[in-house]
Structures are given as structure tokens and as C-alpha cells.
Structure 1
Amino acid sequence: MRGRRRVWTWARRVGLTLLVLVVLVFAVSGAYLGWDRLSPEQLDVAPPGFDVDAAGVRTHVEHWPAVRPSGKAPLVLVPGFAESTYVWSRVAPLLAADRDVYAYDVRGYGFTDRVPPYDLASDTDQLGGLIAALGLERPIVVGHSSGVAIALSLALRAPTSITGVVAANGDGTPYFGTDRTSSGGGARRVLVDPIAPALVTAAMRHRAPIRSIVAAQCGPGCPVDDAAIDRWRAPFLLPGAVDALTSILRQPLIGLTDAQESTVAVPTAILYAGEDGSFTREQAQATAARLRTSLIAELPGARHLALLGEPDRFATALIPLLDGLDRR
């Protein structure tokens, strides 16, 4: 009997301690967010480019005019998850040798307005609106990572509005989830307020965690000096940016189903990196089979952010794919 009381006493103490710790974590997180709002970190990073209204969303755009205009289809570059036009900044000038190149920030990221809902239909609206606002005639859309889903979604919705799609380092499906038969895969993430926003805010206020993530995904050729890391951090330090990111994280990853991809009728091409764990050779080949394309290229030894870390190799592999889409 005495042993049971002793166990019960210890259980109560442990439970009370855990409760106090939980309350403290919530209190500290809330206080940290309050302090951050009163003393926000400000970065002197002026993004190049201009803004347009794309289907009702103020959208940040960068433009690299063709050095030697050739009449080839212009390019529209779509960043992936948590990316901005910065990821295209080193490779875009190489692609602009003979055609106009545009990159834009997808709603919820970069220097574009945070306008929910953050779903594939709205992202597709924005891309279609951007092409119309810029007056582009049947561009080739190059999507990176989750940006592939947006590019292929527009190909399904308005196939005559584009010349083709390149899927770079992503297959356009919810590949981080197990269910590939419904749009948007993977379980919704449990992100508790104010803890999750506080953790994201803390990460963005310091260069070290961002530098570590970028270096791991980009490889040895990636810029990781303070100025480069601040280009990554700056958009997430804007008012409302962390709230938008946590809202996006709570949802399944945007994506098409395998069956939807199999009905894409516009010409497509695949570019993948040999050391990209999120889009492997096997996945690239399966994507090519679904899209019925023979235009596929590998960057051996490259990582997910090869477009930023190895722009010369990325452009060298991508340009023949673009020319192939032009011919088709």
C-alpha cells in the first residue's frame, strides 16, 4: 500500500512538472513573438525586379532580357517550396542568351503578397494571371521542386497558353506523402501556436540554421556568405511571412495525382540531380513515363539546389531540353 502511494506521489510530481514546463514553453514562445514584433530584425535587402497584378495578387517578378533575341519562346521560372526568385538568379542570365527569361515569387513566399488560400488552384490562377499580365505568348514554364506542380497544373488547365513544361528536381505530385491518388499528399502537420511560429521566427533571425540548410541542399558551389544567406532570410522577416509559412506547412504538399499527370498533353521535359534525395533517378524515369516524354537529363553528383550551386552545369543540361520543347 505504501509502495502504491509512493508511485502515485511521484506520478503526480512528474505530471505537475510536465504541466509547468508546457505552460512555460507556451509563455516563452508567446513572449518571444511579442518581442519580435516590437523589435523586428530589418535587413537592407532590396529585391531586384518589379511587381505586377497576377490574378489579383501583387506578384514580384524579375526579368532577364534576351542578349540576342531569336524569337524563341520566353521562359517563366517557378520557384519551389520556401524559395524566391533568388534561386534562379545565377542561372537565369545564362538562359537569357537567346530568349527572354522571367522568374516570379509564388504567393506566400518571397516578396509577393501573402494572399491565402495557399493551394494549387490559387497558385495556378497566379501563374496564368502572370503570363497574361506580362503579355507573354506561349512561354515555356520551368518549375523547380514543388513549382513543378504549378507548371503542370497550368498545362492541364490551359494547354494552349504554353509551349511546354520542364520539371526540374520535382515530379509535380505529392511525393512526400504516401497517397498519390488524391491531390495534395501527406498528413497535415501539427504545428501548435505560438510554439511553431516562434521556432520559425528564431531560425529566420539567425544565419546559422539557414546556412546549414542551404549548404546541405545546394552543394559546395553554393553562395553561403552573409549577403547570400540574407537573400534567403529577408522575405521571411517581412510582416506576416512566418504566419503564411506556418499556414502552408499545416497543409498537405501541393501536387497532382499520377492519373492527372498522365493526361498532360503539352510537351514536357525532365531535369533531375543525381544526389537529390527528394527526386531520384527512379522517380524521374517514372515521371517521364507518365508524361510520355523522352526529353530527360541528369546532373550527376548534383543536389536539389543545383540551379543555384552549379548554374553553369544546370544551364548546360537545361538548354537542350528547352530547344527540344521549342521544336515540338
Structure 2
Amino acid sequence: MDEFPDGSRWAEVRGLRLHYRVVGRPGGTPLVMLHGLLGHAREWDPAVAELAVTHQVWVLDQRGHGLSDWAGDYARSTMAEDLIAWLEAVGLDRPVVIGHSMGATVVLLAAARRPDLFGRLVIADTAPKTADGQLQAWLREYLQELGAASHGTVAEALALRSGGPRARPDLVRRSVEQSLVRGDDGRYRWRFDARGLVGSLDSVDPAVLWDAIDAISCPVLLLRGEHSLELSPELSGEMARRLGDARLGTIAGAGHDLALENPEGVARAVLDYLAGD
């Protein structure tokens, strides 16, 4: 990742230095985007390029990711407090806030606590459920492996972060390149705090997230990947019912990792949703 990509800014938030980018056309309703676990602001560049034609887009590196500071606490509720404090610090007026996976959970928790800060939400492929025990164990081992790893080449790193079967190789490689930093020894390491993030995997009780969903008062676009194993059609329907003012959308050809599978589809869904109003 470039050390200072175009549009880079920083904000001191709750004792951390958080990096974000601002790109696109000023004026009108701003759009905020939050990435998922092990993601970063730049992985959404293909979507941002389309959104920025008509909107100003603010893309945040959450704590422990991208160019933002690492921390000792990665609970989703803590990250929700970061989002609230960041929105207040940068002075956005009721933006549309788009979150994917981990980022979507953060958005739901934050919007339930501070509805006055949010205009509309786009919640992409997250669900209030407990992950399968085997999946949790695999994720913990995987994060530990990433945290300990160093690589001589980008190709070596790609072997660990190759993406799912529907991920586009060009987007995977670009995201991986932007996720690496070269140390004084010449070897690449991951920018995200993989070991620290282990503790975030089970930091939200599904009941707490359902309570947040029930408390959301603003309009919501709820997106799922067509082939997602994270968010089923049945569960997305129940979420939409309990959200109240919600619309459902499907991202064609995608599973869960929307930024690497069909980011342009996400951008079109968001623009269609906003144009419809």
C-alpha cells in the first residue's frame, strides 16, 4: 500500500491515529465506507471510483487495519465507539454509511447507539449469528499464522491470502500488495494486527446485534452476495423485517468477500438505492 495514497487524512480518535481517504465530488450527501476483517480502505477502490463520480466518499481504515494505529482492544463495540467519535471529529452531517462484514457489524452497533449521526445505512453481508466452532478455530489459527509470517516476495504472501473461489485475481493481488509493509530486513509483513484481532472473532453476542437491529431507526439497504454462506436469504429477510425501513439487494456472482468479487456491483446497488429516493 502506498504510504500516502491520494486523499489521505488522519484523525486522532480515542487515543488512536486513524487513517482515512476522501475522494470524489464535494457537496451533497457524503458516503462513508468501512471494510471487513483484515481489509483496508484501498480494497474498495473499484467501488469508490464509481461512487466518487457523483458523491464525496470517505473510506476509513479501522483500528488495527491499513494505515491506522494498532490497539489492545478490537471488540466490535469498541470499534463502534471509534466510528461514532470519528464521525463527530470529521464533522460529517448524517452521511450514508456503508459497512461490509465486520464493518457492517460496527455500523449497526454505532447507529443503534447514536442514530442522530447517521442518514442511511448500507449493510453488506453480515449476520447476527455465532460462527461454527470449526470455522472459529480455523480463523484463530489463520490469524496467528498471518501474525507470525514474513515473506520474501508478494507471491509468497499471495499464497496465504489468495481469496475465495469467486475472488478476482487482479483484485486479490492489488489488495495483498496494499496490505504489506517491507521491514528493515527487506521482508514483507502484514499491516493488519492479525494476532491482536484474534480476540475480536467472538466479541459480539448475536442477541446484542439483534437488539441493535431492532433499535435502528434510519433507512437501510441490506445487501448479500448471491452465493453467500454468511447471510442466507431467510436470515436477510428476517433482518429486513426487524429493521423496518429496509430494502434487500443481491450482488450477482459474489459470495461473502464482496470487495474482491464484485465491488462494482456493490457501487451500482448503492447508487440505484440512492437514486430511487
Which TM-score bucket, shorter chain as reference? 0.7 to 0.9
Structure 2 gaps of 5+ residues are 183-187
Alpha carbons of 1:190 and 1:207: their partners in 2 closer, same or farther (altered >3 Å)? closer
Which amino acid counterpart does residue 131 of structure 2 have in structure 1?
A: F
**Alignment match, 1:91:** 47
Are 1:283 and 2:235 matched, yes or no?
yes
Shift in Å, 1:229: 2.2
Alpha carbons of 1:191 and 1:77: their partners in 2 closer, same or farther (altered >3 Å)? closer
**Alignment match, 2:146:** 200
**Alignment match, 2:185:** none
Paired with 2:124 and 2:258, the residues of 1 have a C-alpha distance of: 10
CA RMSD of superposed structures (Å): 3.1
Contact 1:156 1:263 in 2 (8 A): yes
Alpha carbons of 1:275 and 1:102: their partners in 2 closer, same or farther (altered >3 Å)? same
Q: Which structure shows the bigger proportion of residues in strand conformation? A: 2
Q: Comparing 134-143 with 71-80, which one deviates more in the overlay?
A: 71-80
Which amino acid counterpart does residue 120 of structure 2 have in structure 1?
A: G
Choose which of 124, 128, 131 in structure 2 pairs with 1:176.
Answer: 131
Alpha carbons of 1:224 and 1:155: their partners in 2 closer, same or farther (altered >3 Å)? closer
Paired with 1:278 and 1:142, the residues of 2 have a C-alpha distance of: 18
Q: 1:124-143, aligned counterparts within 5 Å?
A: 124-143=80-99
**Alignment match, 1:78:** 34
Paired with 1:204 and 1:274, the residues of 2 have a C-alpha distance of: 35
Paired with 2:150 and 2:238, the residues of 1 have a C-alpha distance of: 36
Shift in Å, 1:300: 2.5
Shift in Å, 1:160: 1.2
Q: 1:166-315, aligned counterparts within 5 Å?
A: 166-171=122-127, 173-176=128-131, 197=144, 199-201=145-147, 203=149, 205=151, 206-212=156-162, 214-216=163-165, 218-220=166-168, 222-225=170-173, 227-234=174-181, 237=189, 241-249=193-201, 251-253=202-204, 256-315=208-267
Shift in Å, 1:145: 0.7
Which amino acid counterpart does residue 178 of structure 2 have in structure 1?
A: R
Which amino acid counterpart does residue 57 of structure 1 have in structure 2?
A: L
Shift in Å, 1:230: 2.0
Which amino acid counterpart does residue 177 of structure 2 have in structure 1?
A: D
Contact 1:106 1:112 in 2 (8 A): yes
Q: TM-score, normalised by structure 2?
A: 0.81
Which amino acid counterpart does residue 307 of structure 1 have in structure 2?
A: A
Name the SS for the 1:315 alignment partner: helix
Q: TM-score, normalised by structure 1?
A: 0.70
Q: Percentage identity across aligned positions?
A: 22
Work out the number of aligned pairs and report it.
264
Structure 1 gaps of 5+ residues are 1-43, 179-185
Paired with 1:265 and 1:228, the residues of 2 have a C-alpha distance of: 34
Name the SS for the 1:257 alignment partner: helix
Shift in Å, 1:141: 0.7
Deviations 1:255-274 (A, max 9, x none): 64323311211111111110
